[in-house]
Structure 1
Amino acid sequence: MQLKTQVGIIGAGPAGLTLSLLLAKFGIESIIIENRSRAYVEARVRAGLLEQNTVDLFKDMGVGERMECEGAEHHGVYLNFDGVRHRVPFKELTGGRCITIYGQQEVVKDLIEARLAQGGEFFFEASAKSIEGIEGNSPEIHFEQNGEKHNILCDFVAGCDGYHGISRQTLPKDSYNEFHIEYPFSWLGILAHAAPSSDELIYSYHQRGFALSSLRSETVSRLYIQVPNDDKIENWTDEQIWDELEIRLSNGSDFKVNRGEIFEKSITPMRSFMIDNMQHGRLFLAGDAAHIVPPTGGKGLNLAVADIRFMAAAFKEFYTNGQEHLLESYSQDCLRRIWRAQDFSNFMTTLFHKQSEHGSFEYQLQKAKFDYIGISEAYKTTIAENYVGLKEI
């Protein structure tokens, strides 16, 4: 079967879905193909922290009703280091901006429902096999669904298919440079039926390793501990995980972790990755297809949505005015924010993870940075501005 549209979108994650909704608002047609089932993408647990820019965009798009009802607005964050705690107050330092905790799977549910209500065209469990003709005016996406081969003839291809998708692989290898860091540690993360232990997120350096207390709702907690890259889930009982969280998050205080049934456990390596060109011809990349940040700064989903704002604006200008300057500047426009987010994510990662022996030179540098947070309003403001997301960059 041959299909035709203006923008062919590969990937039904937050990036692809947001793009399709924005294009519809501008009167631009699109088709989304997604390798996984609808049930899978709507249940896939990923990010849960939404920057102010992302929240504002979803509200403007008319998809923020459930987010406003069920999401948890946070006005600060706690930072622990060897038993000392500082709070970074977002609203006071950023002119009223803050973050909202709302799971990525809930975002995806909202976006799919809204796009289907508009009559949007989806192909789930559809595997993209190749992208051809990106240097011409009519690229094609070839995909398979239920053993049948199909292709989409379009004006542009939006590659929102993640790190392992075919979109980045389709870019000419000499059209970009890669940058990456493989951190020498991973996160063991859990989801538990337990009320959050704190009214705000807690980042904690401990001589046994990093820990993070987060949440997904008033009854579900999301928590992490630093582990070696070669560690296995099988090495940790539920009780051991809770005990370790208690030690690292209390950090010498009388803080207690609310315990409950753990219903998901996973180990995720920490890494940074990006390319310095996100487009070639009529193919444009967004989100994890072009960049990955460690989750310490909560930037992954938000960067993907920020990419899409530029992409949607570029397509709108092309179809409305026949102009291509926003298409041509797409990569450069996105990269300013991506590099800023990479730096902030690296800063948070290196500040709170144990990387050398307790008391070593590297440790003293980490402690000096943390101590400066306690005495400098400017330093706190820098952290707050980056955490809630810079309005313009």
Structure 2
Amino acid sequence: MRTQVGIVGAGPAGLLLSHLLHLQGIDSVILEARTRDYVQHRIRAGLMEHDSAALLRDAGVGARMDREGLVHEGIVLRFGGRSHRIPLAELSGGKTVMIYGQHEVVKDLIAARLAAGTPILFEASDVSVHDVATATPSIRFRHDGRDHTLACDIIAGCDGFHGICRPSLPAGHLSVFDRGYPFGWLGILAEVAPSNDELVYASHDNGFALLTMRSPTVSRLYLQCAPDEDVGAWSDDRIWAELQTRLADRDGFVLKEGPITQKGVTAMRSFVVEPMRAGRLFLLGDAAHIVPPTGAKGMNLAFSDVAILARALTAWYRTGNSDGLEAYSETALRRAWKAERFSWWMTSLLHKFDRHTPFERRLQQAELDYVTTSRAAATTLAENYVGLPLI
């Protein structure tokens, strides 16, 4: 088999990269270890920055997103029993965020790729990358009971944190920056209309809570918990009682309750590898960096990587100019570290840390007060939340 760009992973990064390359006349083949059904129903965060939504729209795959997605012009910070709205659009020159499930983005991209005839080989096993330091890299894999070799010019590692591409980089090539957090998120899906039109981030003495949504009829809510929390210890009644406590305010906020259809605990970490490239192998998305979900940057950061690499590959194939490819890691990491900083800051601002002394807790509360009373501080939050430029 032969293609120009071999892509490992059919998540949002791999699918969008393939689509953008197709629009520029560049061929690709996508290899995915999971089934199509699994990939399309894998629930992940679904908040898109302004430029991420525009990227899908400009690429011709944003029609359903615009019909079904929820545009938000602000968020609410709640602490001390008071709610404080951050007017994102007003503070960022009109930019907004879009609530649209990541699995819905995946469905749209898979449909577009298959309609264009791009091969997506689901259930590809025993995937390995070879000769990335040469001009003739390849990917070996097993599919439909047969062994295959995919020869290509470039390999894009879009296979996530647990994928095979990052470990395939030469030993000693990577610098790893890793930070764990002493808590996780207990997340639920509930069949109930959202209790607020915009996301509510709550800092409470019991711990953090988040009210978000998937659609006008489905709510997504989170509670700070231990990273090894036993989900079985949380009955529906206990979950709703704790959410009622942490999300309450003095203005009569009413949290709507409904049937819980999904529960799970998400551990939290910050992770970056440098560089994001070795020879002809390029890492994108979670293969290169992980952010805590507080700032809603995961998929958006992957889209930034995709936009940078797609532009560099287009220039290389059209003119032979490799400057963009040579600068890929440096360019992508510059934005990645800004997203890491913002996600760390939001996490530190809103969560309860067991190690906090009363002095540190007071500082945290003072920071929340400053952010919600200073236009300059709120503007900084807003411009990061709606998204820095993708490239």
Q: TM-score, normalised by structure 2?
A: 0.98
> What is the Cα deviation at residue 230 of structure 1?
2.5
Where does residue 343 of structure 1 map in the other structure? 341
Unaligned runs of 5+ in 2: none
Where does residue 264 of structure 1 map in the other structure? 262
Unaligned runs of 5+ in 1: none
* 3-state DSSP of counterpart to 1:203: strand
Where does residue 61 of structure 2 map in the other structure? 63
The one-letter code sitting in structure 2 at the alignment partner of 1:284 is F
Deviations 1:33-81 (A, max 9, x none): 1000111110000011000111000000000000000000000000011
Deviations 1:105-142 (A, max 9, x none): 00000000011111111100112531001011111101
The number of residue pairs the alignment matches comes to 391
Where does residue 4 of structure 2 map in the other structure? 6
Distance in 1 between residues matched to 2:272 and 2:315, nearest whole Å: 27
> What is the Cα deviation at residue 361 of structure 1?
1.5
Aligned to 2:225, which of 224, 227, 230?
227
Aligned to 2:317, which of 319, 324, 332?
319
Where does residue 88 of structure 1 map in the other structure? 86
After TM superposition, the structure 1 = structure 2 runs for residues 149-298 of structure 1, keeping only pairs within 5 Å, are 149-298=147-296
Where does residue 373 of structure 1 map in the other structure? 371
Instruction: Call closer, same or farther: CA 1:160–1:392 in 2, change over 3 Å.
Output: closer
1:102 aligns with 2:100: yes
Deviations 1:208-249 (A, max 9, x none): 110000000000000000011221100100111011111101
Instruction: Call closer, same or farther: CA 1:169–1:310 in 2, change over 3 Å.
Output: same
Distance in 2 between residues matched to 1:365 and 1:156, nearest whole Å: 49
* 3-state DSSP of counterpart to 1:175: coil
Whether the aligned pair in 2 keeps the contact of 1:128 and 1:141 (CA below 8 Å) is no
* 3-state DSSP of counterpart to 1:349: helix
Instruction: Call closer, same or farther: CA 1:4–1:205 in 2, change over 3 Å.
Output: same
Distance in 1 between residues matched to 2:129 and 2:217, nearest whole Å: 44
Whether the aligned pair in 2 keeps the contact of 1:357 and 1:363 (CA below 8 Å) is no
Whether the aligned pair in 2 keeps the contact of 1:204 and 1:251 (CA below 8 Å) is no
Distance in 1 between residues matched to 2:7 and 2:390, nearest whole Å: 26
Whether the aligned pair in 2 keeps the contact of 1:188 and 1:267 (CA below 8 Å) is yes
The one-letter code sitting in structure 2 at the alignment partner of 1:147 is G
Deviations 1:231-272 (A, max 9, x none): 110010011101111110114542121111111100011111
Distance in 2 between residues matched to 1:361 and 1:150, nearest whole Å: 61
Distance in 1 between residues matched to 2:226 and 2:6, nearest whole Å: 41
Deviations 1:158-188 (A, max 9, x none): 0000001110001113222111111000100
Between 1:227-236 and 1:250-259, the stretch displaced more is 250-259
After TM superposition, the structure 1 = structure 2 runs for residues 123-142 of structure 1, keeping only pairs within 5 Å, are 123-142=121-140
The one-letter code sitting in structure 1 at the alignment partner of 2:298 is G
Where does residue 42 of structure 2 map in the other structure? 44
Distance in 2 between residues matched to 1:92 and 1:6, nearest whole Å: 44
> What is the Cα deviation at residue 31 of structure 1?
0.2
The one-letter code sitting in structure 1 at the alignment partner of 2:229 is D
Whether the aligned pair in 2 keeps the contact of 1:33 and 1:128 (CA below 8 Å) is no
Between 1:329-338 and 1:349-358, the stretch displaced more is 349-358
Deviations 1:305-338 (A, max 9, x none): 1000011111111100001110000001101110
* 3-state DSSP of counterpart to 1:216: strand
* 3-state DSSP of counterpart to 2:196: coil
Q: TM-score, normalised by structure 1?
A: 0.97
The runs of at least 4 aligned residues of structure 1 exceeding 6 Å deviation read none
The one-letter code sitting in structure 2 at the alignment partner of 1:73 is V
Whether the aligned pair in 2 keeps the contact of 1:207 and 1:358 (CA below 8 Å) is no
Distance in 1 between residues matched to 2:170 and 2:347, nearest whole Å: 32
1:302 aligns with 2:332: no
The one-letter code sitting in structure 2 at the alignment partner of 1:243 is A
1:111 aligns with 2:105: no
Distance in 2 between residues matched to 1:216 and 1:240, nearest whole Å: 22
Whether the aligned pair in 1 keeps the contact of 2:83 and 2:249 (CA below 8 Å) is no
Whether the aligned pair in 1 keeps the contact of 2:312 and 2:328 (CA below 8 Å) is yes
Where does residue 30 of structure 1 map in the other structure? 28
The one-letter code sitting in structure 1 at the alignment partner of 2:149 is N
The one-letter code sitting in structure 2 at the alignment partner of 1:25 is L
